[in-house]
Structure 1
Amino acid sequence: MAQTTVEGIEGVLAKVGQHLGHSDWLEITQEQVNQFAEATHDHQWIHVDVERAKRESPFGGPIAHGYLTLSLVSALSAQIIEATGFRMGVNYGAEKIRFMSPVPVGARIRASATLDEAKQFEGGVQMNLGITMEIENQSKPAMVASILFRRYV
């Protein structure tokens, strides 16, 4: 269940500037990394060759793809905010994405979200969520990004 529920366009607009909450922690497994590598055809050894990554990587072992971290935003943000009173919603894009720190396989991450901006358009509202992907027990985040979602009435 989402931590923050907003009803309709007015409910979204009322939350601008507010921190909306955190998702649950999610462990990043080697299986997830391998499946992402298969899906994206990105088999760089720092992600999929565990032994080589332990020997040669400056990270001490395999790390998640940055785009794997980014791709989890949709699912994790759904744990944070639920927008009701809309017939549908879509991901509209991303801005200002920065991968700040690698996510080691076995680490747990979570999303933190702030509603930075909301703009009404004909037929709905566009939300700009400031997303920080945190790594458990690390001060530096894995990723920061501005993610755009549209909801249609």
Structure 2
Amino acid sequence: MITINNFEEYKSYEGKQLGFSDWHKIDQEQINRFAEATLDHQWIHVDQEKAESVGPFKSTIAHGYLTLSLIPYLWKQIADVRNVKMEINYGIENLKFGQAVLVNSEVQLHAKVKSILNLRGVVKAVIEATLVIRDNAKPAYVGDVIFLYHFK
């Protein structure tokens, strides 16, 4: 894990790969809890029997937005940004889903710092986020995650 204490340290990582999270297994229980929380009960996510018999993946799959919602959790395993009064998830740009995440797959976040800007005291960090699926050539997604940091 990388520790970042201020804008200058963050800026030194611009254009560089920061690192990788631990592997995280997405099981059916997590998929079902996400379906409950978001009211998205599409059968391809929650009906294991139907997904196995007639689904295109022969398995249930994680919601795309479930995989996106893991970014803050997995990001904290890559970078410890300190001396921050507030951190805001500002947006996601240029995101493309490349591969479905089958139930019981393990995923890992890869993070590269694309740009760091100091906007009059607010630091805007654009992180290229790639969610890799273990033993799969294509990532689940690639996109630019934007964080705003208010350093102390």
* TM norm. shorter chain > 0.5: yes
* Amino acid paired to 1:139: A
Question: TM-score with structure 2 length normalisation?
Answer: 0.97
Query: Is 1:90 matched with 2:96?
Result: no
Secondary structure of 1:38's aligned partner: helix
- Given that 1:9 and 1:124 are in contact with CA atoms closer than 8 Å, whether structure 2 keeps it comes out as no
Q: CA deviation at 1:85?
A: 2.3
Structure 1: how far apart are the matches of 2:84 and 2:33?
Answer: 33
Structure 2: how far apart are the matches of 1:40 and 1:88?
Answer: 26
Find the counterpart in structure 1 of residue 146 from structure 2.
Answer: 148
- The Cα RMSD (Å) is 0.8
Structure 1: how far apart are the matches of 2:96 and 2:73?
Answer: 19
The runs of at least 4 consecutive aligned structure 1 residues that moved more than 4 Å come to none
- Given that 1:123 and 1:152 are in contact with CA atoms closer than 8 Å, whether structure 2 keeps it comes out as yes
Aligned partner (choices 19, 30, 45) of residue 17 of structure 2 = 19
Q: Which runs of 5+ in 2 are unaligned?
A: none
Structure 2: how far apart are the matches of 1:86 and 1:69?
Answer: 26
Find the counterpart in structure 1 of residue 75 from structure 2.
Answer: 77
Structure 1: how far apart are the matches of 2:58 and 2:139?
Answer: 18
Secondary structure of 1:87's aligned partner: strand
Range 20-29 or range 78-87, more displaced: 78-87
Q: CA deviation at 1:124?
A: 2.2
Find the counterpart in structure 2 of residue 100 from structure 1.
Answer: 98
Query: Is 1:59 matched with 2:57?
Result: yes
* Amino acid paired to 1:112: H
Structure 2: how far apart are the matches of 1:98 and 1:45?
Answer: 23
